[in-house]
Amino acid sequence: MKTLLLTWWTGYIWSHNAVLLLEQWYQVILFDNLSNSDKSTVENIKEIAASSLLGKERVERSLKFYEGDLRNTSDLEKVFSENTIDTVIHFAWAKAVGESCEKPFEYYENNVVGTLNLTKVMEKHNCKNIIFSSSATVYDPSQTPPFSEETKTGNTTNPYGTTKFLIENILRDLATHADFRVINLRYFNPVWAHESGLIGEDPNDIPNNLLPFIMKVAAGELTELSVFGNDYDTVDGTGVRDYIHVVDLAQWHLSALKHLESNTTHLLYENINLGTWAGTSVMEMITFTEEIIGASLPHKIVARRPWDIASAYCSPDKAEKLLWWKAEKSVKQAIDDSWNFIQQKKS
């Protein structure tokens, strides 16, 4: 049984991947500093995986958790010295674009320094397989969507995007000069919850991303949603993004892992977009949510944010051909799953 290390596992995206990988008979090690998540998520992961014909006993044997921080090399040394790790799926990041503009040093330390610490410890322990969670924010904002892997990158508008751009180049150099094997997955906008309602996006603080903010307004936890600009050159003037369901995202990660495992005879560095070919505007997201919850969603139009662009969506053609997977879940399905998650948490 191969052993995988998942960094920052309790985040809503990564917990879905943990479930899927357990179902695929991997040994899964989870590493997180719990800075914006709840350790109870591991119990929900175990419950979902155990119900998928795995059984509680096997899940307990196949799942480990270490509390630690990528900025602390001794935390990583403990994990690698106690386990033989085949592949790292590197999710760990500070990931809010707006927050990164307010706290740039924190983002460089967490994302760039944390990744350097991780890869140094990986090399020391002869683990050189890594799947990295990058972002659509690496693309040059002057480019026109749909973005392909050949679209120009750089000229980033915020420190978050800059950290992703820097890490991509670090990993490319490690693949070229240090024998690392890298699959670099460029996410567009992953959102929402597992269909069971047991795990989903529920940040401890004020949400920085659109859908969790919408859900908190819908649930009455926040009074209204701010829509940042309605004068963009888009279908209704509001920003357009390529939203992907986290369950589809988990399937892409599994496919990327299988691709990495099957290509053992040569060095590897691949950039791969993960998206749906299309975008959804902020107002469309509001309308879909109102249809699902059966009520109006309080919102107001406010000024644009300086780091936002009008539209970002991708061509996932490479992912569909190389990883043999394409997005199956619709935006409305995903919003419905998220609302189910919120309702279960309230009950």
Helices (H) and strands (E) in the chain, counts: 13, 14
In angstroms, the CA 176 to CA 168 distance is 12
Active site residues: 160
pLDDT confidence of residue 98 = 82
pLDDT confidence of residue 282 = 97
Give the Cα-Cα-Cα angle 248, 254, 256 (nearest 5 degrees).
105
Residue 135, beta-bridge partner list: 187
Q: Which domain holds residue 185?
A: 3-346
Q: Which residue has the higher pLDDT, 118 or 325?
A: 118
User: Is the model's pLDDT at 191 over the cut of 70?
Assistant: yes
Is the bond into 146 cis (omega within 30 degrees of 0)? yes
Instruction: Tell me phi and psi for residue 130, to 5 degrees.
Output: -145, 135
Q: Determine which of 10-24, 79-93, 108-122, 265-279 has the lowest per-residue pLDDT on average.
A: 10-24
pLDDT confidence of residue 197 = 45
Q: What is the DSSP string of 122-144?
A: HHHTT--EEEEEEEGGGB-TTS-
User: Is the model's pLDDT at 344 over the cut of 80?
Assistant: no
User: Is the model's pLDDT at 333 over the cut of 90?
Assistant: no
Q: Which residue has the higher pLDDT, 172 or 14?
A: 172
Burial of 260 (0-12, 13-18, 19+ CB in 10 A): buried
CA distance to 39, 193, 203, per residue, from 10 (Å): 7, 13, 11
Report the domain count for the chain: 1
In angstroms, the CA 336 to CA 207 distance is 19
pLDDT confidence of residue 36 = 65
Nearest to 129 by CA among 91, 177, 85, 169: 85
247 pLDDT band, cuts 50/70/90, is confident
The helix or strand, by DSSP H or E, that contains position 336, with its residue range, turns out to be helix 331-346
Give the Cα-Cα-Cα angle 4, 132, 17 (nearest 5 degrees).
50
Q: Determine which of 148-152, 192-196, 244-248, 303-307 has the lowest per-residue pLDDT on average.
A: 192-196
Residue 113 tokens, joined: 């320094």
Mean pLDDT, to the nearest integer, of 86-102?
Answer: 84
pLDDT confidence of residue 341 = 80
Three-state SS string over 243-288 comes to: EEEHHHHHHHHHHHHHHHHHCCCCCEEEEEEECCCCCEEHHHHHHH
Nearest to 90 by CA among 335, 266, 260: 260
CATH number of the CATH domain containing 333: 3.40.50.720
Nearest to 113 by CA among 77, 163, 71, 73: 71
